[in-house]
Structure 1
Amino acid sequence: MKTYFINQIRTLALGSILALGLVSCGDEFLDRAPKGELTSDNFFQDELQAEQAVNAIYSHLRSFNVHVFSYVGITDIASDDADKGSVPGDAGFLQDINDFTFDANNTAVNGIWSGYFQGVFRANQVLANIDDIEMDEELKTRLTAESRFLRAYFYFFLVRTYGDLPLIESPLNPDEYRQERVSTDQIYAFIEEDLNFAASNLPEKSEYDATDLGRATSGAAKAFLSKVHLFQNDFQGAYDMALDVINSGEYALYPDYEAIFRREGEHSSESIFEVSTVALEQGGGGSQFNEVQGIRGNPNNGWGFNGPSDDLVAAYEEGDPRLEATVITNGDTLPSGEVVQADPNMGSDARFSRKAWLPERPPIGFGNSGANIRIFRYADLLLIAAEAANELGNSSEALNYLNQVRERARQGNPDILPDVTITDQQELREAIWHERRVELAMEQHRYFDLVRQGRAQEVFSDLGITWTPGKHEVYPIPQSEIDISGGTLNQNSGY
């Protein structure tokens, strides 16, 4: 029995801005029926409704505009790790992302803005109302911390995508909809404030019951703080927060790399934060994350987007088992014995993400996938610690964390992936960046990493793609949002 908190979806209308979906954690957690019609006037009355409203924020993580099509587009497909995939002409807006010919009307650019700000709205609804509910104070504090963690998560993705943003700290009245953008520094300060509150008020992963695995934890908040500091080049802050999580003993590398992305690897020792899903027989509860990246052809279980690139395949060292655990190539034999036969229109060299591959067909079809979406793994945190330590001049600690990741990757084979021993700061920096690429490939990190590292132009130039400094570090603000704002929102440079 899966013990995640998305077993049943309920819908609640909160005003006219969006429908707030109600969902719970775990099989026991979410089998609760709504009691009558719920509106913004009669909701947030008791403890159960407070929990439902917070669960609705988690539910939104599975939505199409948060962790599905647009998500893989602006992260993987935009990077050197992946091509658009699928067949020529299908979803041309993703080809524009791949080629850096997109504009402010791009579907992916619009989808991310809409999806992530809806998440901010849901979190703000909880935070604006929960204080007035008579309920257990310890639970109230935890739910508040979960909401602030999730709001920070949405904003962290948004600030890396668009740069300066409207800072929306509470539900808006209609006369407040036209919000100006504030600086990235202000957004990052807001994110840190939310994450610090979450880190201080959330339980550790080990303190949750199995039915609540997937909820935000103190360790997850600290891990995201580490990454937030890294993206601001605050290496001391990144290192300190990473070390706090490492020394907690809450997490460990999962022994089998490939199994991390299978059912047995869900909420494993390596999982710091992941999106929980359950494929229900009646539909709902699942996600299309796997479907959009699945094999297009035979066995037919997907749309075939986000295909691993030649450049990614060439990046792996000889014998690295992570290549096979990451990439499915046309003609491969799957564990079921089926031979992959890609849609002929994709070409004979078509590839698919094995990390998103589903070995079994979920109920109602692949659009209802019950496979969890991995967001933050312990290996990622170790590599953040390695990078920060190296930037601080501590090569011995950097090598320690880097080689922990490589040791697991070699899967007991002493003849491959030897320990890195170099201590020159620039060479070690490049080794750590390389390890991030092959360890985290096809997990939606690469594009933001390239921008953060300041080498996107060089990387894309080598691939014959024009990447313009001063423009492509961020995506355009959706033109529709600028129009609606009456010009209050301004456009990013170059668009």
Structure 2
Amino acid sequence: MFKTYIIPVITFSLAIALLPGCNKLVEIDPPLNEMSSERVFKSDNTAKSTLSGLYSLLSQSQAQVIQLTLFPALGSDELELLPASVTYEDVRNNTMQATSSNASGFFNDLYASVYRANSIIEGLQKYTGTSAAVKKQLTGEAKFIRAYCYFYLVNLFGKVPLVLETDVTKTAYLPRTSVDSVYDQIIKDLTDAKDSLPADYSASSGNRTNANKYAATALLARAYLYTGNYTAAESNATEVINATSLYSLIPAASMGTGVFIKNSAEAILQFMPYLNATNSYTAEGATFVTTTSQYSLRTTYVNAFEAGDLRRLKWINEVTLNGVVNYQPYKYKYRTNALAVAAGVTEYPMVLRLAEQYLIRAEARANTDNSTGALADLKVIRNRAGLAESTTTDKAALLLEIEKERQTELFCELGHRWFDLKRTGRSDAVIGAIKTTWNSTDALYPIPQTARDANPNLSQNDGYN
């Protein structure tokens, strides 16, 4: 079982090339002293090492490693908890409280990466020694990571403090910022990143583990979709889809084992494996593909797949454990490094992938009354899954079909289902129908009490004491 932990305060060490982290929003180390900061940014190599530290901090945090997938899946209609666990019952039942470590873990982990990104952006601007080309690239990647973190913060917690600098005298008591303003910053950061980053993966030696232009474009398409700018969502998704020299959907024949592997043609961005860069398995595999029954896709969720859907066949592992049928999410196949190595397969955690871009564009087109274009995008995803194309032209019905395709394509991937139900206003209808513990206010997590104790200007979300 992966356990929640709080990122400790990290002081600078050139040996490991890490910038300051934080354990709570308002309890962080002071900004780097002048001498150590100058040393960090005096050359391209040392500056690049700070970015590696940022990727490591985010990709190895429990929020990113498993909780962004597990908790929203338990909270929505995706996963059931088997057997009952005191640790995660509040997540499954949507009864999380402000004092819960399950809420504070997200808050702490994501803000730790925000502060690290801010440190890099400030250092690159303040100190000389880094070449113009490297400064541009590293700033772009740091802004991408900051936008990525804020995307999840704003979707999990709603209004959050918008921290864009490291000076604690200015950030310690920031109030929460409106959702619209946070999204404005996300879009600004991603637009800057898109203009600054290379279109290939040369910065990561060909591995798809660093954000490039298309990673920024893909997340920008999602941000525009969530904020209702459908024209911009369609445009950005199209840019990614048209980058055919880099990206293509894995064919149906190999989608069971080919989508979630290292440097998959469908991968726009992946992170390094959990714990060790040489590992060949993922935390998702270790969590879901178990020999003891822990989590199962709900029967109602499994029944949403149409007959003949290859995703049901290839991405769900049906096993009976202790007399109980368990529908294991099976996108990642290996629960230990030894099993992955024995199979000769390296799986990397998927962060952004091409299939989502088709679904973003389909939804954007449906919302702008381009049903022909929306159906064409749905056809691509459905045909890969072995299903016939849709012929629906009614706008409301088409949007529900797109939601269903997102449900069956993106299940147990970094909170998509939870966020889809929330942003379309369908949480009450869908989750409320299966959980007597559901309240409308559960669509947002509580602001952690530890953060509110440290910062009296932080208000609480509705529904929490």
- The 3 A distance-change label for structure 1 pair 49 and 462 is same
Whether 1:133 aligns to 2:128 is: yes
* Other-structure match for 1:372: 348
* Other-structure match for 1:386: 362
RMSD: 2.8
Q: 2:302 aligns with which of 307, 310, 313?
A: 313
* Other-structure match for 1:301: none
Write the deviation string for residues 230-266 of structure 1: whole angstroms up to 9, x where unpaired.
111222221121122223334211112212345xx32
* Other-structure match for 2:394: 424
Write the deviation string for residues 83-116 of structure 1: whole angstroms up to 9, x where unpaired.
124x333xx2422111111111222211100010
User: How far 1:284 sits from its partner (Å)?
Assistant: 8.3
Write the deviation string for residues 301-342 of structure 1: whole angstroms up to 9, x where unpaired.
xxx5442111211011012111122222224xxxxxxxxxx3
Aligned residues: 433
User: How far 1:206 sits from its partner (Å)?
Assistant: 5.9
- The 3 A distance-change label for structure 1 pair 394 and 83 is same
* Other-structure match for 2:372: 396
* Other-structure match for 2:266: 270
Question: Matched residues in 2 for 1:279 and 1:476: separation?
Answer: 29
* Other-structure match for 1:481: 451
Structure 1: 5+ residue runs without aligned partners? 1-8, 19-37, 298-303, 332-341, 411-416
* Other-structure match for 1:492: 461
* Other-structure match for 1:82: 79
Superposed, which structure 2 residues align to 1:175-190 within 5 Å? Answer: 176-190=171-185
Whether 1:145 aligns to 2:140 is: yes
Whether 1:168 aligns to 2:163 is: yes
* Other-structure match for 2:7: none
Matched to 1:178, the amino acid is Y
Superposed, which structure 2 residues align to 1:50-449 within 5 Å? Answer: 50-85=47-82, 87-89=83-85, 92-131=86-125, 132-173=127-168, 176-205=171-200, 210-249=205-244, 250-255=246-251, 256-262=254-260, 265-277=261-273, 280=276, 288-297=283-292, 305-331=294-320, 342=321, 344=322, 348-358=324-334, 361-362=337-338, 371-410=347-386, 417-444=387-414, 445-449=416-420
* Other-structure match for 1:453: 424
TM-score, normalised via structure 2 length: 0.86
- The 3 A distance-change label for structure 1 pair 350 and 478 is same
State the SS of the aligned residue for 1:181. Answer: coil
User: How far 1:195 sits from its partner (Å)?
Assistant: 0.2
**Contact 2:47 2:130 survives alignment (8 Å):** no
- The 3 A distance-change label for structure 1 pair 280 and 109 is closer
Matched to 1:231, the amino acid is Y
Question: Matched residues in 2 for 1:432 and 1:42: separation?
Answer: 51
**Contact 1:116 1:154 survives alignment (8 Å):** yes
User: How far 1:422 sits from its partner (Å)?
Assistant: 1.4
